[in-house]
Structure 1
């Protein structure tokens, strides 16, 4: 019997790219779940998602209009929920720079509301989504997501008798997600121009399914307090442009406010509390509520070398122009042709 049998799951920001991918995965691989609740503040996106995952076809589905900024609404939504996946966020770097207070209210205050509502309503596990931009942040979005990560990790210290477990998953650019570079380039290809911010720019790359798999791993296996990081390849922005539009003009326009040339997911300062689990790295809190020795033994975990860092520019695994074309066809646009 699956650990999700007869469980109720709620996804904040559930109408986003990852929320929809999680929904498809759960309904396909875990049809025995009791309820799957999509909480978001955009009624139009919920309306469109309901066309694809209707309650008449999938009786487990529920759609709940709500905002993570609204604590009372969250408490009502979380009643009877076993697992919460927190995917709601303001995520566009330049929009966050221009609207800092809105970003803080959603990404920081919203995170604390999710924590408090979970503690108050009997939720058993919470998995929060992070981003590579939360690692050594230079923009407000990254700073708010780092704060969010810290809040979720620290929530394990204040839960008292409550058996709830909070954990975090951190990964890089999700291939084909809303607002990401590949859909942007695919659209701009029609104009014959693909603007390059910086020719040396690199990014980590993960598929939507890879993101789903990480969340499901954390949901099933977390002990509480872990921050999971996947081992994934990097790509060069110039290779993405070449893969999509080799014939296009590629003017260099400069990086946008708050943007990095390269991304990190683990800094050298994190190395003291980072372990290699094989498929993933995991950053552990300085003090855990469980036995570190037992954790290491159960997971066959190996401590990374002192000073280790995980950077998109110095990654050992890279996508090529050809592999990017195959991935775009598989994960983004099945009709894609160069």
Structure 2
């Protein structure tokens, strides 16, 4: 996938995903020529430089910049051939209070990445999305849906360039900042775990699985796909039971912008969704990408019309014991229920 001539840039590279992706990239492909971490927080870049010192990782570069600044992006993308776009504003309540800031970063920033890639020699682009972009009810999800559409539509204007844009969409990353598991782990010290709704469910993916999905997409995407992993769900009430079986669990109600169940594929998407084994792929409805798959001799298995991929109806659910095991494995190896 990558060799001694490969040059990759990751936007938002100092975030949870970026750190894990860069670590796996440098471990699996130590011969890679250049890896550029593009982000706007100099403190996080400095902290990441301590984790990856220059004398051990001379191919790693840190480039201060914001995806809102197209000129800066163009400069950063000089001689880059692969881009992973992970930069985004993500907090749902903050989006409701500061909508234009999320639009500027998640929508206009995505368009800046697209245009900068078209203006340079980039060949492969994978953008990260979220389950909240499927039938969104909050502004964060709406901005990520717009971002998804921009990256998919960019394939229409690439002309004769050897350039492919694709998107990966997945659910809650276990242990990521601001997610429910770290929140419950911290709140369990007080003996009270507030539950929004006992029937609420979410998709679950580990950070490592998310990283592997992006590597798979970079290697296999033909351009125009929105990839969705087949992953388990959990009930918020089961997460609370796994972490704090002896804690009080008051019901506090659903917060603004939250769904009871998340979706990654809606029934309306089913008419252009195919099953690729470990992943689904939502294709453009004009059939162009499906023709690419067929002409490449790849097996295309459409899902049934009306199929929907919903965290509440997902046949694969994690139980309390499984959640405890995964928390120890992916979040805190010293974890014990309280």
Asked if Structure 1 and Structure 2 have the same fold, meaning a TM-score greater than 0.5 normalized by the shorter chain, the answer is yes
Distance 1:4 1:268 in 2: 40
Give 3-state SS (helix, strand or coil) of 1:307's partner: coil
CA deviations on 1:126-166 (whole Å, 9 max, x unpaired) are 10000000000000000000000000000000111211100
**TM-superposed deviation, 1:295:** 3.4
Task: Give the match for residue 77 of structure 2.
Answer: 78
**TM-superposed deviation, 1:57:** 1.2
| Cα 1:293/1:70, change in 2 over 3 Å | closer
Number of residue pairs matched?
337
Task: Give the match for residue 94 of structure 2.
Answer: 95
Choose 127-136 or 281-290, whichever is displaced more: 281-290
**TM-superposed deviation, 1:5:** 3.9
CA deviations on 1:46-105 (whole Å, 9 max, x unpaired) are 111111112221111111111000111100111111100000001111110110000000
Distance 1:290 1:178 in 2: 35
Distance 1:97 1:91 in 2: 11
Checking the alignment, whether the CA contact within 8 Å between 1:296 and 1:302 is kept in structure 2 is no
**TM-score computed with the length of structure 2 as normaliser:** 0.97
Distance 1:89 1:4 in 2: 28
Q: Which runs of 4+ in 1 moved over 3 A?
A: 2-5, 288-291, 293-299
Task: Give the match for residue 223 of structure 1.
Answer: 222
Structure 2: gaps (5+ residues): none
Q: 1:299-338 counterparts in 2 under 5 A?
A: 299-338=298-337
Task: Give the match for residue 269 of structure 1.
Answer: 268
Task: Give the match for residue 12 of structure 1.
Answer: 11
| Cα 1:291/1:143, change in 2 over 3 Å | closer
Task: Give the match for residue 280 of structure 2.
Answer: 281
Task: Give the match for residue 231 of structure 2.
Answer: 232
**TM-superposed deviation, 1:195:** 1.0
Task: Give the match for residue 125 of structure 1.
Answer: 124
Do structure 1's residue 142 and structure 2's residue 144 form an aligned pair? no
**TM-superposed deviation, 1:251:** 1.1
Distance 2:3 2:152 in 1: 23
CA deviations on 1:199-253 (whole Å, 9 max, x unpaired) are 1100000000110011001111110100000000000000101111111111111
Give 3-state SS (helix, strand or coil) of 2:297's partner: helix
Q: 1:42-191 counterparts in 2 under 5 A?
A: 42-191=41-190
CA deviations on 1:147-199 (whole Å, 9 max, x unpaired) are 00000000000111211100000000000111111111111111111111111
Give 3-state SS (helix, strand or coil) of 1:299's partner: coil
**TM-superposed deviation, 1:291:** 5.9
